[in-house]
Chains A and B, each alone.
Chain A
Amino acid sequence: MIAEMGQLALLLALGVALVQGSVPIVGAARNRAAWMSLARPAAQTQCLLVVLSFACLTASFVQNDFSVLYVAQNSNSALPLAYRVAAVWGGHEGSLLLWILMLSGWTVAVANFSRHLPAPFIARILGVMGWISVGFLLFTLITSNPFERLLPAAADGRDLNPLLQDPGMVIHPPMLYMGYVGFSVAFAFAIAALIGGNLDATWARWTRPWTTAAWCFLTIGIALGSWWAYYELGWGGWWFWDPVENSSFMPWLVGTALIHSLAVTEKRGAFKAWTVLLAIMAFSLSLLGTFLVRSGVLTSVHAFATDPRRGLFILALLVVAIGGSLALYAWRAPKVGVGSRFELVSRESMLLGNNVMLVVAMGTVLLGTLYPLVLDALGLGKISVGPPYFDNVFVPIMTPIIFLMGVAPLARWRETALPDLARRLRWAAGLTVIAALLTGWLAGRISPLATLGFGMAWWIVFSLATDLLERLRPAEGRSVGARVRMVPRAMVGMMVAHLGIATFAFGVSMVNTFGIERDLKMKPGDRTEMAGYVFTYRGVRDVQGPNYIAAQGLVEVTRDGRAVATMKPEKRVYRVQQNPMTEAAIDTGFTRDLYVSLGEAVEGGAWIVRVYFKPFVVWIWGGCVLMALGGALAASDRRYRGARREATTGAGMARATAGAS
Chain B
Amino acid sequence: MKPRQKRLAIAGGLLVSVAAIAALVMNAFQSNMVFFYSPTQVLANEAPANRTFRIGGLVQQGTVKRDGLVVNFVVTDTAKTVAVRYQGILPDLFQEGKGVVAQGQLRDDGIFVAREVLAKHDENYMPPEAAEALKRAQQTNHKIANTVAPGAAP
Contacts and interface: CB of A to CB of B under 8 A. Distances in A.
Interface in B1-54: 1, 6, 9-10, 21, 24-25, 28-29, 32-36, 54
Contact of A385 (B1, B9, B33): B33
A389 B92 contact: no
A546 B2 CA distance: 75
A580 interface: yes
Given A304-B122, A383-B34, A385-B33, A234 B25 contact: no
B25 A579 contact: no
B33 A519 contact: no
A396 B90 contact: no
Contacts of A566: none
A433 interface: no
Interface residues of A, number: 44
Contacts of B33: 383-385, 389
Nearest to A609: B89
Contacts of B129: 299, 382
Nearest to A580: B92
Interface in B101-140: 101, 103, 118, 121-123, 125, 127-129, 132
Q: Which of B21, B36, B93, B123 has the most A CB atoms < 10 Å from its CB?
A: B21
A417 to B, nearest CB: 13
B34 A386 contact: yes
Contacts of B101: 299
B122 A393 contact: no
A393 B128 contact: no
Contacts of B89: 235, 519, 597, 599-600, 608, 610
A577 B123 contact: yes
B112 to A, nearest CB: 16
Contact of A393 (B25, B87, B88, B90): B25
B36 A344 contact: no
Interface string A230-257: 0000110000000000000000000000
Contact of B29 (A234, A367, A577, A597): A367
B92 A381 contact: no
A389 B32 contact: yes
A581 interface: yes
A581 B92 contact: yes
A151 interface: no
Given A344-B10, A519-B89, A299 B127 contact: yes
Nearest to A364: B25
B127 A385 contact: no
B28 A384 contact: no
A580 B34 contact: no
B32 A385 contact: yes
Contacts, number: 96
A205 to B, nearest CB: 28
Interface in A360-389: 360, 364, 367-368, 371, 376, 381-386, 388-389
B142 interface: no
B154 interface: no
Contact of A384 (B21, B25, B34): B34
Contacts of B36: 381-384
B123 A397 contact: no
Interface string A73-102: 000000000000000000000000000000
Contacts of B123: 577-579
Interface string A7-49: 0000000000000000000000000000000000000000000
Contacts of B25: 364, 367, 393
B7 to A, nearest CB: 10
A119 interface: no
B32 A392 contact: yes
B149 interface: no
A519 B29 contact: no
Contacts of A145: none
A340 to B, nearest CB: 15
Given A303-B125, A384-B34, A344 B66 contact: no
B68 interface: yes
Given A521-B69, A600-B66, A388 B24 contact: no
A155 interface: no
A486 interface: no
A547 interface: no
Nearest to A602: B66
A301 interface: yes
A273 to B, nearest CB: 17
Contacts of A581: 92
Interface of B: 1, 6, 9-10, 21, 24-25, 28-29, 32-36, 54, 66, 68-69, 87-90, 92-93, 101, 103, 118, 121-123, 125, 127-129, 132
10 contacts: A163-B121, A382-B129, A383-B33, A384-B34, A384-B103, A396-B24, A519-B87, A520-B69, A581-B92, A582-B92
Given A364-B25, A384-B103, A386-B103, 4 more contacts: A381-B36, A385-B32, A386-B32, A581-B92
